[in-house]
Amino acid sequence: MKNFFPILLCFLLLPAARVVAQETFAPLVSETCVAFVHVDVSKVELDTVKNTLQKMGEDLLTELGFDERSHRATSRELAVELEKLDILVRPTWDTITKELGIREIAIIFDMDILTTGSGAGFVAIPWKDKTEAQLATFQRMIQEVQMGPQNPEDYTKAGDFLILAHSATGELIKSWFDKEPPKDSPIFEALKSVPDANVKIAAAIPEGARLMIRNAPLPPDVPVEVRNLLLFAAQKIEWASASVSFHEFLGTEPPPNADVLLTIKTPRRTDAMMFHGMLENLIEFGVNTAQFAVTQNMRDADFQIPPLAFQFGKGMLRTYLPEVDEDKLIFRSKENVTLSEFLRAYMGGVHQTVGVGVALLLPAVQSAREAARRMQCTNHIKQIVLAIHNYHDSHKALPPLYTVDANGKPLHSWRVLLLPYLEQNALYQQIRLDEPWDSEHNSQFHSMTPSVYRCPSSSQQGGSSYSAIAGEGFVPARSADSRGEHTFSRITDGTSNTIAIVEVNDTFNWMAPHGNITLDDLAVGVNRGRAGSNHPGGMNVGMFDGSVRFVPNTANPQILRDAGMVNSGSPLRF
């Protein structure tokens, strides 16, 4: 274990790259190359590194307020420990750079390597004019630190390179030297975009890999925001490049464009802009998810994190979004975020570089409040659909639209039946299920609408804001004894494509067995009839898989109607 640290430091404390990687390793990069990591190990001044660590330690002691005596004593202890570390590291470093003359290393991942069944990548080291004695020294060092191949057969000489990989991989790489290396490989184009850095990283998606990604089934619980981003990336990303620099740590001059951390290349500017929008949506989804989790975990606590705090979090994350530069997305380092940058991101693109007046800040606060309400509405729908699943687990069937008495007279809505699965069992126990919902006894509960059944953006007091779809989904049952026929298996369009819960413009009593909207109501469109909400621009709908989608006012009414059916056979397109 003691020899682990020398190798670790040797490959982490690296200087700015001084070698043109795309020229040196060109014979090893094929059209099926997926990723390329280039490391320059040509020059590291260990004395500079040691002095920098010493200074960093002393600066930290000063910041922590150590008195002069403690400062001196701790500094001496640090110097002793750094000297021990230098004694440990220097022999290994000298072996790599002086005795073996290793200046650069590449780690390459290639799709063709998968065919050998021995992994997906290999390590390549320029090995021209090296002797057998040097190879033996290198193998012995690797065996001592146990951080590479232990079998001598897994060291293959291919062209002017030493390949560290399974012997089958080495034999395949040998055959590459009979071919002309590609001159316009996306990997090389990516490498050219990386500024001089300690570590250069390039990646591309060959057509074969692109096809594999497109055809790979994603788990059904992958959120639509993540799913769309992955599919778009597989189709549109041509290459990506990244850099890692330690110039401040090593005391060297920063290279040009050192603030560029990651570049992503797409075919056109419109693709880059669309990718940028998807990243914004991912921030919205991620923060909303975090807010939901925090709210659920702290709902019984005395202190509640205000929704506005999460809105400010979104604004802060947006300041780290990439820049769109023609057909590229460029991520830059962000040590400090200025007030104007934050306000521009928080306010959705309002360019305010000097300050923000009340006239601008007030709409932003109102927008944040509505965003919080919409998120709370989303959470309500998620809870309702989860309750539906729990009901199904208990009854081996989906809940009916309403229950009926022996004569077929409606008694209670599906909302009453879900109460035990929404932490409302105390209320459920008080309701007389054998009496109609509007009997003298049950009428006392009409005003006790559980908060989960109300959208906080609704302008109407009391009542329920959420409806099932009469005649479809989990609610086609017309009698209590037929509920057992209706299970998730009846939803042949798929639970992620079928609406379970929809918002309504006009609220109605939560216990009433009537009032649920129909497919004809959906066919009118969003906010043109009963289906709609007070959320600007559209309404929330809950799918049977538990996901919640925002349907804009401009959604095609026919598509919305099809999404309300369990067996429309039409793909979901909103």
Which pLDDT band, with edges at 50, 70 and 90, does 11 fall under? very low
Task: Return the residue matching tokens 């909303």.
Answer: 288
Residue 477 vs residue 187, higher pLDDT: 187
Q: How many CB atoms lie within 10 A of CB 225?
A: 19
By CB neighbour count within 10 A (0-12 exposed, 13-18 middle, 19+ buried), where does 336 fall?
A: exposed
Number of Cβ within 10 Å of residue 279's Cβ equals 18
Which of 60-64, 97-101, 122-126 is predicted least confidently? Answer: 60-64
Query: Domain segments of the chain: what residues?
Result: 4-247, 266-356, 367-563
State the pLDDT at residue 446. Answer: 92
Q: Is 522 exposed, middle or buried (0-12, 13-18, 19+ CB in 10 A)?
A: buried
- Of 286, 287, 280, the residue nearest 308 (C-alpha): 287
- Of residues 550 and 362, more confidently modeled: 550
Q: List, for residues 396-413, the tens digit of each pLDDT value.
A: 888 888 888 888 888 889
What proportion of the chain, given as a percentage, has pLDDT over 70? 78
| Least confident piece of the model among 290-294, 312-316, 378-382, 476-480 | 476-480
pLDDT at residue 118 tops 90: no
In this structure, the strands spanning 402-404 and 239-244 are: unpaired
In the prediction, which pLDDT does 256 show? Answer: 58
Name the more confident of 9 and 439. 439
The better pLDDT of the pair 41, 546 is held by 546
**What DSSP designation does 321 have?**
S
- Sequence-ordered strand ranges (E) for 382-455: 402-404, 410-413
Picking from 564, 553, 479, the residue whose alpha carbon sits closest to that of residue 516 is 564
Q: Is the pLDDT of residue 353 over 60?
A: no
Strands of 245-297 (E only): list them: 260-265
With bands split at pLDDT 50, 70 and 90, how would you rate the model's confidence at 6? very low
Closest residue by Cα to residue 533 from 514, 548, 512, 513? 548
Block residue for tokens 């998606």: 205
The predicted pLDDT at position 438 comes to 92
First vs last Cα of the chain: how many Å apart?
Answer: 56
At residue 275 the predicted structure's pLDDT band, cuts being 50, 70 and 90, is: confident
**pTM, rounded to two decimals:** 0.50
pLDDT at 435: 92
- Does position 381 have pLDDT exceeding 80, yes or no? yes
Rounded to the nearest integer, the mean pLDDT of the chain is 77
The answer to whether the CB of 109 falls within 8 A of the CB of 155 is no
The full DSSP string for 51-118 is HHHHHHHHHHHHHTT--HHHHHHHHHHHHHHHHHHHHHHHHHHHIIIIIS---EEEEEEEGGGGGGTS
* pLDDT tens, residue by residue, 218-237: 666 667 667 777 777 877 88
Q: What is the per-residue pLDDT for 13? A: 41
Q: Which pLDDT score is estimated for 248? A: 54
pLDDT band, residue 50 (cuts 50/70/90): confident
Average pLDDT over residues 349-364: 38
For residue 9, the model assigns a pLDDT of 41
Residue 444 pLDDT class (50, 70, 90 cuts)? very high
**Residue that the structure tokens 């260990």 belong to:** 46
The residue ranking higher by pLDDT, 358 or 441, is: 441
Structure confidence at residue 250 (pLDDT) = 55
Residue range 239-266, pLDDT digits in tens: 888 877 665 555 555 565 556 678 888 8
Q: Is the per-residue pLDDT at 453 higher than 90?
A: yes
Confidence tier at 429 by pLDDT (50, 70, 90): very high
pLDDT at 5: 40
Q: CA-CA distance, 420 to 48, in Å (whole number)?
A: 67
